[in-house]
Amino acid sequence: MASPRKVIKLVHAGLTMMRYGVPIPPPGVEAPLSFNILKMLSAPLWWRPWKQHRGIAPALTRLGPSYVKLGQFLATRDDLVGAEMARELTKLQDRQPPFAMKKAIAVVEKELGAPIDELFVEFGEPVAAASIAQVHKARVRDDRGEREVAVKVLRPGIDRRFKNDLGTFYEAAHLAERLDPATKRLRPVAIVDTLASSVAMEMDLRLEAAAISEMAENIAGDKGFRVPAIDWTRTSQKVLTTEWIDGIPLHDVEAVKAAGHDSKVLGTRLVQSFLRHAMRDGFFHADMHQGNLFIDRAGDIVAIDFGIMGRLGPQEQIYLAEILNGFITRDYLRSAQMHIDAGYVPDHHSAAGFAQALRAVGEPIQGRTADEISMGGLLGQLFHYTELFDMKTRPELLMLQKTMVVVEGVARSLNPQLNMWTTAEPVVSDWMRETLGVAGKLREFRDETGKLGQIATGMPEMLLKLGRTVEVLGKATKNGVRLDEETLEKMVLFRHDSGRSGRWALWTGALSLLAIAVALLFPLLTTILNN
């Protein structure tokens, strides 16, 4: 049951959004009569004839940082909020007023355990402020000399505020499922789970540093794309210090060209780098907008702000490659079968039937110019069709699609004639050859052989443990089956809060496992005891 405080916060959020002209509930959702009566009675509280600053983006900005972050997540879910609202949410900017310099210094000194003058030669005013943290430009001096760094500092009290607001978001998600059971397929609670997980990662800047470090290892052999170096000695839970990137932001295309960089090459490199990160590494920057991408003096693309990262498991990596390859080669039946084999589409649907849906997505793009085709939009249309085939929404794939849309937009700002499919084809083909071809199968065989070797190496120890087990069971059959009292007590206390039924289950399970072990080893025990 919801607490009164959560209900009040939810009502306040609803009234605020209605003041900004946001429809509550969303179009297509039928509210109960009691809700409509309450909405009508509360009209004097929220009605206001505003003609400017109307819409969901300004409303969420007014409600604060947690709601801004929620809006950014909902921008990826046009199936949940509708295409029009999703487009408006993409305009949502994660810009907030900076907090006081005095507070920032206090956080840094407390976290790093030293006065600010000992930590930095210079520590400047904030250069950027977002919903969770702000960034200061500073200068350090150590055995590597003097250099400029970027210092990211968490907002004081932001973790507590997000925790409180997440409770309200969960209440709203549960309410949506109760008002319209059809929304359960869209998994609104899972959306809040994803948001909560992402925010939890962002609240510990050591995890962001670890993400940078992991990506740096993944791309060590790549050319033309890099990440900032980390200053681990000046990094903690609430403070992250990295190399200062002195480059041209990618949103300034004219400056990029004026500096002598080939914008067409950069557009291609950006798309191919993202696809390699997603397919090859299963780990990608999930917030690659133009403000987080720079061109350094060497002409390399440098990504910053690793607070939001995406991961794909081996199955999702294969899924992405097969889907893109299916559209590139027009092999819709293979892509459809992959959906079914991977469990994304239940196997009571035919591959041929789902291939027909994929063809409806893929064929309209054939013969169209590159600037008319969006790879991210294509995936969005695909996910829409999957509703007909009972495919459940996968949050990690939605994050992938959202990031792909953003990367496409940045790449096309550099090269409006960029052909996404021609650009993607070599990366997809190389990955499939390396992973699913002969070389990949040989690697898989080598890995499996290694696992068998590990098992063989550990066999003597396993046999020794088996012998000890047989000896103990042999003594148990001679002296009568007896369970150690302390062991049973620990088993019961392990789940004492599960109630009497839970305790009986533990007792029954323990006795059953022992009975099964005795039964399986009985022939061997008999031989041992008779000798």
pLDDT tens-digit readout, 152-197:
999 998 888 888 888 888 877 777 777 666 666 667 777 788 778 7
Shared domain check, 443 and 333: yes
CA distance 507 to 213: 47
Domain-located, residue 225? no
Which uninterrupted H or E stretch holds 34? helix 33-41
Same domain, 300 and 413: yes
Residue 475 lies in a domain: yes
Question: Is residue 79 one of the residues assigned to a domain?
Answer: no
* In a shared domain, residues 411 and 473: no
Residue 255 and residue 306 in one domain: yes
| Torsion angle, alpha carbons of 57, 60, 66, 70, to 10 | -50
Residue with tokens 């080893």, as numbered in its chain: 521
Distance CA 300, CA 93 (A): 26
Provide the token pair at 305. 């702000």
Show which of 435, 457, 479 is a domain's final residue. Answer: 457
Residues 309 and 280 sit within 8 Å (Cβ to Cβ): no
| Domains held by the chain: number | 2
- Report yes or no on 158 lying in a domain: no
318 and 339 in a single domain? The answer is yes
What's residue 186's pLDDT? 61
- Give the pLDDT confidence of 262-283 residue by residue, as tens digits: 999 999 999 999 999 998 999 9
Tell whether 398 and 259 lie within a shared domain.
yes
Cα torsion for 160, 161, 163, 167, to the nearest 10°? Answer: 140
Would you state the structure tokens that stand for residue 21, as one six-digit string?
A: 């002209």
Q: Are residues 514 and 475 in the same domain?
A: yes
Asked if the structure places residue 222 within a domain, the reply is no
What confidence score (pLDDT) does residue 374 get?
63
Q: Report pTM.
A: 0.69
Residues 429 and 480 in one domain: no
| Closest C-alpha among 416, 337, 333, 328 to residue 375 | 328
Last residue of a domain, one of 395, 423, 457: 457
Q: Are 263 and 334 contained in the same domain?
A: yes
Q: Which two tokens stand for residue 344?
A: 């994304």
Q: Give the residue numbers spanning the domain of 415.
A: 247-457
pLDDT at 343: 72
79 is catalytic: no
Query: Same domain for 368 and 516?
Result: no
520 and 419 in a common domain: no
pLDDT at residue 491, rounded to an integer: 45
- In-domain check, residue 489: yes
Handedness of CA 65, 66, 69, 70 (dihedral sign): negative
Residues in the chain: 531
419 and 477 in a single domain? The answer is no
Asked which of 442, 457, 472 is the last residue of a domain, the reply is 457
What is the model's pLDDT at position 379?
65
Q: What is the pLDDT of residue 326?
A: 76
Residue 168 belongs to some domain of the structure: no
Which two structure tokens, joined as six digits, stand for 37?
């009566």
* Token duo for residue 204: 């510990």
Question: Which of 78, 159, 287, 305 is an active site residue?
Answer: 287
Q: What is the CA radius of gyration of the chain?
A: 29
Residue pLDDT tens, the chain, 531 long: 556 776 777 777 777 777 776 766 555 555 555 555 555 655 555 555 444 557 777 888 778 777 887 787 677 555 556 667 777 777 676 677 899 999 999 999 999 999 999 999 999 999 988 888 999 999 999 888 899 999 999 999 888 888 888 888 887 777 777 766 666 666 777 778 877 877 777 889 999 999 999 999 999 999 999 999 999 999 999 999 999 999 999 888 999 999 999 999 999 999 999 999 998 999 999 888 888 999 999 999 999 999 888 888 888 888 777 777 777 777 888 888 877 877 778 888 888 888 888 888 777 766 555 556 666 666 666 666 666 777 666 667 767 877 887 888 888 889 888 877 788 888 888 888 887 654 444 444 445 555 555 555 666 666 666 666 666 656 655 555 454 555 545 544 544 444 444 444 444 444 444 444 444 444 444 444 444
Q: Is-contact 521 474, C-beta < 8 A?
A: no
58 three-state secondary structure: helix
Q: Identify the pLDDT of residue 106.
A: 96
In a domain, 53, yes or no: no
